[in-house]
Structure 1
Amino acid sequence: MRVAVIGAGIVGACIARSLAMTGVEVVVLDRGQVGSGTTSRGEGNILVSDKAPGPELDLALASRALWAELADDLGAAMLEFEPKGGLVVATSARGLDVLSGFSRAQREVGVRVSAVSPEEAVDLEPWLATDLPGGSFYDQDAQVQPVMAAVEILADAVRRGATFRAGAEVAGVRTGGRGQVVGIITASGDRVDVDAVVNATGTWGGVVGERLGAPIPVLPRRGFLLVTEPMPRRVEHKVYSADYVDNVAASTEGLETSCVVEGTQGGTILIGASRERVGFDQTMNPGIVRALAEQAVRIFPFLADVQLLRVYRGFRPYCPDHLPVIGPDPRVPGILHACGHEGAGIGLATATGALIASHLTGSGFVVDPGPYLPDRLIDGRTP
């Protein structure tokens, strides 16, 4: 079997490695370089803390275990993998009540989470504001450097026999007499014979799905990320306000901002996160930058005196029901999708790779594949 994976971001890299490990012949194609699209605009989150019980949390727990295995195989330093844990803090008494109920439900399905008092929160993060009412600590939350991780994972896939073609934009597919995929066509006119094609193009999953004759409703959701000047490390964990969970799950088109703060191995501090549905509009919005900065200072007051190094923005691949699309498309035999992860693509990439490999090879699934299948989003069945 020969499989084309379209997209050399973190999801495509994990798919290629999972397939190569089973002996499948894999060719990865990307119109750019490794990790140059959606992956390059991410924070590198590997989170279970922000997901309610259900299919996405199931996928996140499976992925977290696979990330640990991957770090052991390739070396944590090569991925900048840090099992740092996540501290979710409330900024009001009501927010703490909501967070406590959310955490309780997660605990019942296997998430490791503990309540923390205001004093315990400051013990975990000494530079934290001292007037916060408390929060929850998740020791399973982790972090990677997303582009480094994509490069290393794809390199390992290549060592196992995969090939990678940069600057190769896929324009369409070729099908046989029964409609089965037999190859792909690039924008330059090259033809590549394959038995299956995986659409792992992140935010552009809907556009590429159209080219493959299998459109899916993946939409862009713009987000901004602030990066501070390097400094001695002052934020040890992933730290975010409890309202981030509500914003992740929201479907509104308007702007939503909620504070997410974390340190990096290079000494910079990353500050997010905003979400808004504005298509592929890349316009800079100083108002969003200001709102994120103010929210970050509320949680970490020392940031008021820290300089921003840069601000960047990107697009999260958003599906209407907040679940990624993973699996074979019933309309075109040989087409599979692996996109629509929104802001969780880094964290969910490893289990996504395992699911796609199972669909193509018939091996056992790491989680029930049913909730993620494309069927739910086509033929007028979009939620």
Structure 2
Amino acid sequence: MPGSPPNPRSSSRRTTPSARVGPRDAGAVAVNPSRWDVVIVGAGIVGAAIAEALAGTDRSVLVLDRSRGFTGATGRGMGHLVALDGSPPQLELCRLSLDLWRRKKWREAVQWNPAGTLWVAESNEDLDVARAKKAALAAGGVDSDLVTAAELRRLEPLLAEDLAGGLLVPSDAIVYPPAAACQLLEDAAQKGAKIDLGATVTQVGGGRVRLARGEDFFSRHVVIAAGWESSHLVQDLARGLRVLPKKGELGITWRSPLHVRHQLVELGYMRSTHASSGDSVAFNAQPRPDGQTLIGSTRSLSDSTRRVDPKRFARMMERAVRFLPFLSRQSLVRCWSGFRPATADHLPLIGPHPRDPTLLFATGHEGLGITQSLGTARLIADHIGGRSLAMDWTPFLPGRIPEGSDHE
């Protein structure tokens, strides 16, 4: 993969787990070190959230990850906390998660920014999309405001002057994902979870987790939160549902006195998100705390390389300049690529394996993993704890597609 995305945080603030959550030196050790109540495979934002939700109970919790930093989607995404209306279940999970995000007390540590989302209409046809989006959000309990062309220019003076208007969702927010995941892991460790980084899992199933270094762990519940690599851990996941790596690219500018105020997204974004083949680009821009602008985004299911594709990236930047002309005069400090964990029906996999109840999935969130991490963790914790679920997770259950069906 290209060089890691730039860290906009000052050097005095950590964005990778500290020694307190390093291999074998954090959290409570089970009475039998090979037996745990819950083993979580994956220490990205979703796995970290599940660990934090389960730690501090009467259950022993172990988190395993082959990386010692956030090298997957958590370390390479935008950190946009968004109520997305792709479908009613998707929106409900977003809303549950956003409510949980707002209750967190460590906002400064994760660079919390209640900027809201400004969905931008390029044309009158896009304004029709904005009205439909407003209605869908309202049905899901999310407030939003239609914005005229004049109001759009007042809210974001740097936007192109010929845009038609937009839709403002003031309750959306922004976080810095590596810092958020780091905070969740540290909170989990302080409450008794053990975090083992640098531990490569090679096989799971039947309540057993095997590591490349030869160890076996046994657990009542094994949670797979390994992003797009989840398919490699459970081979028969490919028979019916697969987690697909959907490539994306981002770029970030140098610091500048010119910067946007909201998370900006074009209203054609959902067409890009739901593209089932080929490459697509859509305008997406995020203000960073130090005056940088984070620019996206691209999507590709056909490109499995780890390098930034220059043609696709150029298309993305052309789209960005169309909405934010000032970017044509800005220099990029870096660009990078990453892979979103996607499913063919655009819904995450959350819940037990249909034939192995010891296996629980928490993956396939595509571009909503940061937003939906806390809600996903709540559902997994409710299930393991034997409580009523915070919402109906039927649409997300791994067994929703008949086994053996062609679901690519």
TM (norm. structure 1) is: 0.93
Letter in 1 for 2:228: T
Residue 57, structure 1, aligned to residue 82, structure 2: no
For 2:251, the equivalent position in structure 1 comes to: 226
Provide the rounded CA distance (Å) in 2 between the counterparts of 1:354 and 1:78: 22
Provide the rounded CA distance (Å) in 2 between the counterparts of 1:194 and 1:378: 27
Counterpart among 172, 178, 203 of residue 228 in structure 2: 203
For 2:146, the equivalent position in structure 1 comes to: 115
Question: Residue 203 of structure 1 contacts residue 317 of structure 1 at CA under 8 Å; is this kept in 2?
Answer: yes
Q: Secondary structure at the match of 2:234?
A: helix
Provide the rounded CA distance (Å) in 2 between the counterparts of 1:207 and 1:27: 20
| Deviation of 1:249 (Å) | 2.5
For 1:353, the equivalent position in structure 2 comes to: 377
1:271-350 alignment, distance < 5 Å: 271-278=295-302, 280-350=304-374
For 1:192, the equivalent position in structure 2 comes to: 217
Residue-by-residue CA offset, 1:263-316 (whole Å, 9 max, x unaligned) = 111321111111110253223311112111111111111111000111100001
Counterpart among 117, 120, 128 of residue 97 in structure 1: 128
For 1:127, the equivalent position in structure 2 comes to: 158
For 1:370, the equivalent position in structure 2 comes to: 394
| Deviation of 1:54 (Å) | 1.0
| Deviation of 1:35 (Å) | 2.3
Provide the rounded CA distance (Å) in 1 between the counterparts of 2:71 and 2:305: 18
Q: Secondary structure at the match of 1:42?
A: coil
| Deviation of 1:23 (Å) | 3.4
For 1:14, the equivalent position in structure 2 comes to: 49
Identity of aligned residues (%): 37
Letter in 2 for 1:99: A
For 1:30, the equivalent position in structure 2 comes to: 65
Provide the rounded CA distance (Å) in 2 between the counterparts of 1:279 and 1:302: 30
- Give unmatched runs, 5+ long, in structure 1: 176-180
Residue-by-residue CA offset, 1:71-107 (whole Å, 9 max, x unaligned) = x2xx101111112100011111112122222222222
- Give unmatched runs, 5+ long, in structure 2: 1-35
TM (norm. structure 2) is: 0.87
Provide the aligned C-alpha RMSD in A. 1.8
| Deviation of 1:381 (Å) | 4.9
**How many equivalent residue pairs?**
372
Q: 1:371 to 1:99 in 2, by over 3 A?
A: same
Provide the rounded CA distance (Å) in 2 between the counterparts of 1:279 and 1:217: 17
Q: Secondary structure at the match of 1:195?
A: strand
Provide the rounded CA distance (Å) in 2 between the counterparts of 1:283 and 1:64: 33
1:53-92 alignment, distance < 5 Å: 53-70=87-104, 72=105, 75-92=106-123
Q: 1:221 to 1:5 in 2, by over 3 A?
A: same
Letter in 1 for 2:308: M
Question: Residue 318 of structure 1 contacts residue 342 of structure 1 at CA under 8 Å; is this kept in 2?
Answer: yes
Residue-by-residue CA offset, 1:104-129 (whole Å, 9 max, x unaligned) = 22222211111001111111112111
Letter in 2 for 1:9: G
Moved more, 195-204 or 215-224: 215-224
Letter in 2 for 1:202: G
Question: Residue 220 of structure 1 contacts residue 278 of structure 1 at CA under 8 Å; is this kept in 2?
Answer: no
Provide the rounded CA distance (Å) in 1 between the counterparts of 2:403 and 2:395: 16
Question: Residue 207 of structure 1 contacts residue 215 of structure 1 at CA under 8 Å; is this kept in 2?
Answer: no
Q: 1:114 to 1:326 in 2, by over 3 A?
A: same
